Homo-oligomer: A and B are copies of this chain.
Amino acid sequence: MMILNNISDMRKIVDQWKKQGLTVGLVPTMGFLHEGHESLIKRAAAENDRVVVSIFVNPIQFGKNEDFSVYPRNIERDSSICQRAGAHAVFNPAADEMYLDGFSTYIDVGDISKELCGKSRPIHFRGVCTVVAKLFNIVKPDRAYFGQKDAQQAAIIHKLIKDLNMDVELVVCPIVRESDGLAKSSRNVYLNPEERKAAPVLHRALCAGESLISSGQKDAEAVKKAIADVINTEPLAKIDYVDVVAFPEIKPVNGDISGKTLVATAVFIGKTRLIDNFIVG
């Protein structure tokens, strides 16, 4: 497995592969890999001749008061996870390799990026779309792999690909969880032991919401209230949002749930913001 730090080297490798007629899968990550990422890499390795994992903590998707500078990093550990999971190359550029002096070009997908996480993170998805377009232009993947844990992100990448006619197939993979239900996330490392014990409340609350829907409840407000009620039993939890939206359009559901629907929540456990979701229909 190769580790590449600059764009021209990455491009050369991919161009060689393409000339040989090999298919390429890309798994874009911010590193500090966990079993969720690993499942994406394994899926990519099963479906493509070559797999590139990008590891890049993307500065332009973090707000001023967010955790860019302290976001966990461990390239050695990440590399061995990538190799074990079947990657052929890790693309790990520095920030000034990706953003040259004077960089000022951004991609905005519109309203879909303003709901859910977009409400409290106004520049986040603009940064995500921009870096994903850059990675697609560098790696030229046939398929790109994203996790359902970031369901709004997946919906936004779907729209980005469609609106800009990118020739990439989006593959969205299931959420991977700890044994107590907490969705795997690089940010789980921020949790102290007490917070870690509290964190599965997101999943427990969403399960309660899902059961309610299964048992016939269609009213979005009732589902949201049931989920919030469970979260609010946890003193360390502070809700950012509990929301019900059409998927992948990410349009708020007012009234009855029908068709493919995303039920998503973002909750602060102490200072750590965690997200989780499920999709019905």
Contacts and interface: CB of A to CB of B under 8 A. Distances in A.
Interface of A: 7, 11, 19, 21, 100, 102-112, 129-130, 133-134, 137-138, 140, 159-160, 162-167, 249
Copy tally for this chain in the complex stands at 2
B162 A137 contact: no
Given A104-B111, A105-B159, 8 more contacts: A7-B165, A11-B167, A100-B162, A105-B109, A108-B108, A130-B164, A133-B133, A140-B167
A163 B104 contact: yes
Given A165-B134, A166-B137, A104 B112 contact: yes
A120 B100 CA distance: 29
Contacts of A112: 104
A164 B109 contact: no
B107 A160 contact: no
A131 to B, nearest CB: 10
Contacts of A11: 167
13 contacts: A100-B163, A104-B159, A104-B163, A105-B108, A105-B109, A105-B163, A106-B110, A107-B107, A107-B164, A133-B164, A134-B164, A137-B164, A137-B165
Contacts of A133: 133, 164
A166 B134 CA distance: 7
Given A137-B166, A138-B165, A167-B11, A104 B100 contact: no
Contact of A110 (B21, B105, B108, B167): B105
| Residue of A11, A108, A110, A137 with most chain B CB atoms under a 10 A cut-off | A137
A169 to B, nearest CB: 13
A110 B106 CA distance: 8
Contacts of A106: 107-108, 110
A214 to B, nearest CB: 30
Contacts of A100: 162-163
A19 B140 CA distance: 15
Contacts of A140: 167
A134 B166 CA distance: 7
A130 B176 CA distance: 36
Given A100-B162, A162-B100, A137 B105 contact: no
Contact of A160 (B105, B163, B166): B105
A166 to B, nearest CB: 5
A103 B129 CA distance: 15
Enumerate the 3 nearest inter-chain pairs by beta-carbon distance, A residue then B residue, closest first: A104-B110, A105-B163, A137-B165
Contacts of A103: 163
A155 to B, nearest CB: 12
